[in-house]
Amino acid sequence: MLITKSPTKTTSQSLLHQSVQFLKGVGPKRSEILERLGIHTIHDMLHYFPRDYKDRTRIQKISEAKIGAEITIQAKILAINNRMARNRKYILEAFVTDETGTIAATWFNQPFLMNKFHVGDNLFLHGKVGAYKYLQLLSPEYEVIQDAETNIKEGGIIPVYPLTEHISQTQFRKIVKEAVHHFANHIEEILPKELLVNNQLLPLDKAIREIHSPETFDTLKRAKLRLVYNELFTLEMAMALRRSGIKEETGIAFKSGPNVDAHIRNLIPFTLTNAQERVIHEIKEDMRSSKPMNRLLQGDVGSGKTVVAIYAILVAIANGYQAAFMAPTEILSEQHFQTIQKYLQHSHVRMQLLTGSTNSKYKKDALEQIRNGQIDLVIGTHALIEETVQFKKLGLVVIDEQHKFGVIQRLKLKEKGFSPDVLIMTATPIPRTLSITLFGDLDISILDEMPPGRTPIKTFWISKDKEKDSYNFIHGEISKGRQVFIVYPLVEESAVLDLKAAVTEARKLQHDVFPASKVGLLHGQMKSGDKDKIMTDFKERRYDILVSTVIIEVGIDVPNATVMVVEHAERFGLAQLHQLRGRIGRGSEQSYCLLFGNPKTNEARERLKIMTKTCDGFKIAEMDFKLRGPGEFFGTRQHGLPELKISDLIRDFPILKQARSDAFEIVSKDPHLTQETHQKIRQKVLETFKDRLELISIG
């Protein structure tokens, strides 16, 4: 017989990774249903957490009912009675009993309840006790207890799982119970003792038991704390490993003395803002260091990121390296190309634009020149990450609007050089809360100051009855030679209906409202090439008005557009509204953002109010994040992060900070997690990030 080194370890692991079919009560059919919930193994089952709990800790007796007080009881229906009261209100009464007495549960105007209840049903009821001719529970909360549940005779704190309709809570609870009963003792602790002690964390197996069947609300809280910590610790561990991996690489130590600096400044036609100076200083320090730069530059639309990027690009080129600048769309790449060309017209920098529509014969030459170093700066779309693109000496990678690319593409471009410096730019202000999690592996620079001489955009919330006046106002702007965006939300899920709505609206505006103006249309079903064409036409003033159902490309520059109308503004999120507003106010003229909308919810009203009060992207982002929560704010998936099952980045921010500092400390002492005490963590991180191994660097 073979002797394995640590038999218990392997056994526990493989036991937990058995199929759920090994659990009692789970056959092929059930396992299919569980599969759809993402539960394949017993481990998955144990980590499928309740979304809520029911408090059954204090079930009282009907004999204890006191008029005016609240009571929770478990009782059986003896009779059901429904009638019409004198005021024509419908009344449903269920007379229920436990072994101590009888009480009537009374609901008003809910006739559908009639079908919910049957004589003989067992109910949990919670409500206020009143008295009419007899004792009553007035409109109590109720739950019909299913047969199986009565047999189990559960009191206590009952978990409620996020399920589909194919499996009931009771059935699911039973399976979880099986899993916990037979397998929870095989769950191994992943954290070193000191962390458990210092943070007063429950052992992992105990936490898993508790989360599924809590003894008390207090222990439940501790179980949650432990599992939240676990999740965030794993995430931060991956960040820490990645960051330390990058820092271990040897990058390029660029030289940038006063000569280069003076040279670059000569090309910039204005005085840099303090924020630009600060950020350029940060970038210069990174570039001088022999560790590769990995920096995120956040700055609202118009804050002047381009010139910062140009500074970095020129430092690289001055040192004899090539630079690559990647933007998410062709039109943005072209725009960047033109802007940068203008800045560099008196320099010797050799530039090349490379996009999907670059003519193939021309492209071949271009690729050759990039390969042999005749090109210093390549600007383009993700065409840049194609295999055919090879650099002679790539030293700097600049990526605009990173959230459109995701981490993987970022890495691909980077791999075209030998540890080049990376600068990522985003105009989406990201609240600090989020950026330290999402971009935990990046250093962050913020441009929080606008260049001088800008007229702040005036934003108005226009109610339905004032829309006509706004159209007159828009007429006025157009007659001054200005251009206008009119944006509609996606009305339907269906692209066809969406298109129809947009076409109809554009036609109506053209014929009924602005017959003398030229109205263009941009909609979600267009191919990206056609979209670019319409945008270009608009930019070149072939249209006065652009009607759009899609979010107009971030970063599109049409200085002559001074009005942004958002129809049904209440249907847009804050971040979207802010992005839309960023399309205007790019010239020297006063710009106006008109938000049409009659919001029905407080939250929607709040959003519109915030928009009229501030133009500060960071403030708006922070509010947005608070209003909507991180899941909505933007999907974590596209950032290459695993889905958070139990944590909430806002609510659990203090735990996140602790987990982060613990993870970074461990990695600072054991950068490749080679120590024996860190093996379980290592396994856990590898397992969690198994689809994204390129994101972490464990030796």
Interaction site with ligand ADP (CB under 6 A):
270-273, 276, 299, 301-307, 427, 451
Identify which of residues 182 and 278 has a Cβ nearer to ligand ADP in the complex: 278
Identify which of residues 302 and 520 has a Cβ nearer to ligand ADP in the complex: 302
Other residues' Cβ atoms within 10 Å of the Cβ of residue 623: 19
Per DSSP, the residues of 58-100 read T-B-GGG--TTSEEEEEEEEEEEEEEE-TTS-EEEEEEEEETT
Contact region with Mg ion (CB under 5 A), list: 121-129, 180-188, 312-320, 552-560? 552-560
Which residues 6+ apart lie within 8 Å of 480 measured at CB?
none
Identify which of residues 299 and 520 has a Cβ nearer to ligand ADP in the complex: 299
Binding partner selected for residue 303 from Mg ion, ligand ADP, none, CB under the kind-specific 5 to 8 Å limit: ligand ADP
Identify which of residues 180 and 615 has a Cβ nearer to ligand ADP in the complex: 615
Binding partner selected for residue 237 from Mg ion, ligand ADP, none, CB under the kind-specific 5 to 8 Å limit: none
By CB under 5 A, is residue 555 in contact with Mg ion?
yes
Q: For residues 186 and 180, give the distance between their C-alpha atoms in angstroms, rounded to a whole number.
A: 10
Binding partner selected for residue 302 from ligand ADP, Mg ion, none, CB under the kind-specific 5 to 8 Å limit: ligand ADP
CB 439 within 8 A of CB 407: no
Smallest gap from Cβ 398 to ligand ADP, in A, equals 12
350: phi then psi, degrees, rounded to nearest 5: -100, 120
Identify which of residues 306 and 658 has a Cβ nearer to ligand ADP in the complex: 306
Binding partner selected for residue 336 from ligand ADP, Mg ion, none, CB under the kind-specific 5 to 8 Å limit: none
Identify which of residues 431 and 555 has a Cβ nearer to Mg ion in the complex: 555
Smallest gap from Cβ 558 to ligand ADP, in A, equals 12
By CB under 5 A, is residue 214 in contact with Mg ion?
no
Sign of CA dihedral 510, 512, 516, 517: negative
By CB under 5 A, is residue 582 in contact with Mg ion?
no
Smallest gap from Cβ 338 to Mg ion, in A, equals 12
Binding partner selected for residue 328 from Mg ion, ligand ADP, none, CB under the kind-specific 5 to 8 Å limit: none
Q: For residues 166 and 148, give the distance between their C-alpha atoms in angstroms, rounded to a whole number.
A: 17
Binding partner selected for residue 273 from ligand ADP, Mg ion, none, CB under the kind-specific 5 to 8 Å limit: ligand ADP
Identify which of residues 178 and 553 has a Cβ nearer to ligand ADP in the complex: 553
Identify which of residues 307 and 552 has a Cβ nearer to ligand ADP in the complex: 307
Contact region with Mg ion (CB under 5 A), list: 158-166, 198-206, 555-563, 684-692? 555-563
Residue with tokens 């052992």: 203
Identify which of residues 482 and 583 has a Cβ nearer to ligand ADP in the complex: 583
Smallest gap from Cβ 273 to ligand ADP, in A, equals 5
**Residue 555 is encoded by which pair of tokens?**
């970063």
| Cα three-residue angle 626-630-631, rounded to 5 degrees | 135
Three-class SS of residue 238?
helix
Identify which of residues 555 and 597 has a Cβ nearer to Mg ion in the complex: 555
Per DSSP, the residues of 176-229 read HHHHHHHHGGGPPP-S-HHHHHHTTPPPHHHHHHHHHS-SSHHHHHHHHHHHHH
Binding partner selected for residue 299 from Mg ion, ligand ADP, none, CB under the kind-specific 5 to 8 Å limit: ligand ADP
Binding partner selected for residue 307 from Mg ion, ligand ADP, none, CB under the kind-specific 5 to 8 Å limit: ligand ADP
Size of the site for Mg ion (CB under 5 A): 1
Binding partner selected for residue 109 from Mg ion, ligand ADP, none, CB under the kind-specific 5 to 8 Å limit: none
Identify which of residues 451 and 642 has a Cβ nearer to ligand ADP in the complex: 451
446: phi then psi, degrees, rounded to nearest 5: -125, 130
Smallest gap from Cβ 305 to Mg ion, in A, equals 5
Smallest gap from Cβ 272 to ligand ADP, in A, equals 5
Smallest gap from Cβ 582 to ligand ADP, in A, equals 8
323: phi then psi, degrees, rounded to nearest 5: -130, 150
Distance of CA 114 to the CA centre of its chain: 43
Smallest gap from Cβ 580 to Mg ion, in A, equals 16
Contact region with Mg ion (CB under 5 A), list: 9-17, 346-354, 401-409, 549-557? 549-557
Q: Name the helix (H) or strand (E) containing 619.
A: helix 617-628
Pairing of strands 377-380, 394-400: unpaired
Binding partner selected for residue 431 from Mg ion, ligand ADP, none, CB under the kind-specific 5 to 8 Å limit: none
Which residues 6+ apart lie within 8 Å of 354 measured at CB?
333, 363, 366, 370, 378, 379, 380, 381, 383, 384, 389
Binding partner selected for residue 417 from ligand ADP, Mg ion, none, CB under the kind-specific 5 to 8 Å limit: none
Q: For residues 645 and 585, give the distance between their C-alpha atoms in angstroms, rounded to a whole number.
A: 41
Three-class SS of residue 329?
coil
Per DSSP, the residues of 384-453 read GGSTT---SSEEEEEEESGGGT-HHHHHHHHTTSSS-EEEEEESS---HHHHHHHTTTSEEEEE-SPPSS
Identify which of residues 303 and 647 has a Cβ nearer to ligand ADP in the complex: 303
Three-class SS of residue 620?
helix
Smallest gap from Cβ 405 to ligand ADP, in A, equals 16
Span 588-647, contacts to Mg ion by CB under 5 A: none
Binding partner selected for residue 318 from Mg ion, ligand ADP, none, CB under the kind-specific 5 to 8 Å limit: none
| Binding site residues, Mg ion, CB under 5 A | 555
